[in-house]
Amino acid sequence: MKAIQVLGPGGPDVLKFVDVPTPKAGRGEALVRLAAIGVNFIDVYQRNGTYRVAFPAIPGSEGAGTVEQVGEGAADFRDGDRVAYAGAPGAYAEYACVPAEQLVRIPDAISFQDAAATMLQGMTAHYLCTSTFALQGGNMALIHAGAGGVGLLLTQLAKARGATVITTVSTAEKEALSREAGADHVIRYTDSDFAAEARRISGGRGVDVVYDSVGKTTFEKSLDCLRPRGMLALFGASSGPVPPFDPQTLNAKGSLFLTRPTLAHYIATREELEWRSRDLFGALRRGTLKLRIGQTYPLEHAARAHTDLESRRTTGKLLLIPPLA
């Protein structure tokens, strides 16, 4: 099969389009012929060595497609099932073996591309606003990268829960997309100090929660946006990892809470995985949640997808399409 392989850490140029053996489903697994593959910052972190993986490696952890082979002990699925998943390695390929416990069925009304665009970023947005800091009416949230894949989905979910949403973006185009998703206030961080603006918008009180996927360049000012006992949910590091800091800072700034969540811990049970995916697919069917697929690329152009993602010029979700799709 065709796949993207990485022999060692480095820039986008280490992503090589190669022929590798097609895997076979093992015990508890299903072999999925992929129709759409999600591109995410975790793929970048693994490629460049920020997150350690064993090389050689096939990147990617999110996809949607059709079951073609079922291994022993995976009786809940059968050949021909339309499925999607997030969290299993090896997605940048025509086929992937996925633990059956990580698969969810795709409703007939949902396309493979929409399903692949929903799983990782959609469930991330879902856990952030329902579990990490469960938003409700009267809460005020600041969402960084408001026009990104998670940002657009999180804005919509936060508004549906009754929260007032502030987002940060870099351009007029991204501001328009963020407002279209429902943001009440949009701060262009290239033109103004987002912490000062968040304080002004909140009447000097500070926001209840900051959802920060940017990391290094936003971390300190994200803390400055919070009310006493507010929470910073740091769920990414698109600008680089946050340097070590003194926990006493949380005390000095108002007995703040800091958490570094990850999706795996919020879909650790089958029940939680099905709840989150069911909620998201239901909202897509009803039209109350709208996806923005910013760009699709042939699988062999994975390096271009990574370059575009790291430039922070993209909006919405990026997808790879394998040759067999």
Q: For the segment 66-75, what is each residue's pLDDT rounded down to a tens digit?
A: 999 999 998 8
Residue 93, judged by CB atoms within 10 A of its CB (0-12, 13-18, 19+), counts as buried
Cβ 63 vs Cβ 93: under 8 Å: no
pLDDT at 119: 97
pLDDT at 224: 98
How many angstroms separate the CA atoms of 2 and 21, rounded? 9
pLDDT value of position 313: 78
Domain boundaries, the chain: 2-120+283-321, 137-260
Mean pLDDT to the nearest integer, 36-43: 95
Q: Is 90 exceeded by the pLDDT of residue 316?
A: no
Question: Helix 302-310 crosses helix 41-48 at what angle (to 10 degrees)?
Answer: 100
pLDDT at position 319 is 98
Residue-wise DSSP of 291-311: --EEEEEEGGGHHHHHHHHHT
2-120+283-321 classified as CATH 3.40.50.720: no
Task: Give 220's pLDDT tier (boundaries 50, 70, 90).
Answer: very high
- Other C-beta atoms lying within 10 Å of the C-beta of residue 79: 11
Cα separations in angstroms, 4 against 14, 51, 95, 118, 308 = 9, 18, 11, 22, 17
Say if CB 180 and CB 204 are below 8 A apart: no
**CATH class, range 137-260:** alpha beta
pLDDT tens, residue by residue, 241-296: 999 999 999 999 999 999 999 999 999 999 999 999 999 999 999 999 999 998 99
CA separation for the pair 150, 128 (Å, rounded): 10
Q: What are phi and psi of 142, to 5 degrees?
A: -110, 125
Residue pLDDT, tens place only, 97-133: 999 999 999 999 999 999 999 999 999 999 999 999 9
pLDDT number for residue 75: 83
